[in-house]
Amino acid sequence: MSLLIIGTVAFDTVETPYGKVERVLGGSGSYASLAAAYYTKPRLVGVVGEDFPQRYLSLLESRGVDTLGVERAPGKSFFWHGRYETDVNIRETLVTELNVLETFDPKLPGDYADSRFVFLANIDPALQLRVLEQTPGAVLTMADTMNLWIDIARDALEEVLRRAHIILLNDSEARQLCGTPNLITAARRILEKGPRAVIIKKGEHGVMMFTDKAVFSLPAYPLEGVKDPTGAGDAFAGGFIGYLAGADDCTEPAMRRAVVAGTATASLCCEDFSVGRLQSADAGAVAARIAGIADITSVDFAQLARV
């Protein structure tokens, strides 16, 4: 089923303890759409500048991403520079240049308006709202956000929280947004604003998904070879909603399976810089990672109950 993703399509410069890459393909939309493409053909909406190489867009296309909705505008592309500490859970943003994003007003290509699944990846919440207005037929909408927008675009973000069906954010953002150190309390407060589900990403500790009836928790796949965690959250989101769109299923059991799908694509993303691993991993690599997740989470609860 049709999945639309809006997010950044960017130049990233990234430094981790394992190396440095400069002006490589990045952006929340790039990571999310590459991950979603394992399950469906996502329609990517975003903007790049005159400086953006065609080969990056061709790379997305070659992996099954529809880039018709990626506009090329006069000016420079969005640029982000981040540096990770020895503990790669700690990251400092050194530069964020919005550039063409400052004047971007997303207008969906005609046939994108019928998209049934919509992922509003991390981007200015005002732009996320513009996409929601243009996709009235969506059966499932999911929105991601980050600390920058909590700081500078709170009103638009609150509107996104009221209107999207699923809200995705990381643990520190949930604490900041809700003014509480407790993630369960934070999730409950976000649910009270309107969404059906809240997913809190906890980096190498995995994710928790909250609905008004249930809590589901999954650890991250244990990786020894983390090279660059940039985009892991976006790759989780893309795998998650890509699975739901591919299965055309928004039920709670499907969302639990989607958490596994997203955990698999997020772990692959961390194994190389930029989109390197999402570019090289085939469907078999994703299936093998899902089998690995099944293995590390498998417990015979029935046998336990008999003790």
Within 10 angstroms of residue 293's Cβ, the number of other Cβ atoms is 21
Shortest Å, Cβ 5 to ligand AMP: 12
* Nearest 10 degrees: Cα torsion 132, 134, 139, 141: -20
Should residue 234 be labelled a site residue for ligand AMP when binding is judged by CB under 6 A?
yes
Which DSSP state fits 49?
-
Should residue 99 be labelled a site residue for ligand AMP when binding is judged by CB under 6 A?
no
Joined tokens for residue 151: 């700081």
Should residue 44 be labelled a site residue for ligand AMP when binding is judged by CB under 6 A?
no
Shortest Å, Cβ 186 to ligand AMP: 18
Should residue 122 be labelled a site residue for ligand AMP when binding is judged by CB under 6 A?
yes
Should residue 28 be labelled a site residue for ligand AMP when binding is judged by CB under 6 A?
yes
Shortest Å, Cβ 213 to ligand AMP: 28
Binding positions for ligand AMP, 135-194, rule CB under 6 A: 146, 148
Instruction: List the one residue out of 221, 178, 222, 225 whose CA is nearest residue 200.
Output: 178
Shortest Å, Cβ 208 to ligand AMP: 17
Candidate residues 38, 39, 80, 221; the one interacting with ligand AMP per rule CB under 6 A: 80
Candidate residues 4, 21, 123, 208; the one interacting with ligand AMP per rule CB under 6 A: 123
Contact pattern for ligand AMP over residues 7 through 26, marking x by CB under 6 A: -x-x-x-------------x
CB of 70 closer than 8 Å to CB of 44: yes
Amino acid at 158: E
Amino acid at 46: G
Task: Kindly state the number of chain residues that form the binding site for ligand AMP, as judged by CB under 6 A.
Answer: 17
Instruction: List the one residue out of 178, 175, 241 whose CA is nearest residue 6.
Output: 241
Contacts of 279 (CB under 8 A, 6+ apart): 34, 59, 63
Joined tokens for residue 157: 């973000």
First to last CA, the chain: 45
Residue with tokens 């039920």: 251
Should residue 67 be labelled a site residue for ligand AMP when binding is judged by CB under 6 A?
no
3-state helix, strand, coil in the chain (%, to 5): 45, 25, 35
Candidate residues 96, 180, 185, 297; the one interacting with ligand AMP per rule CB under 6 A: 96
Q: Which residue is nearest to ligand AMP (CB)?
A: 26
User: Nearer to ligand AMP by C-beta: 96 or 217?
Assistant: 96
Which residues of the chain form contacts with ligand AMP (CB under 6 A)? 8, 10, 12, 26-28, 80, 96, 122-123, 146, 148, 230-234
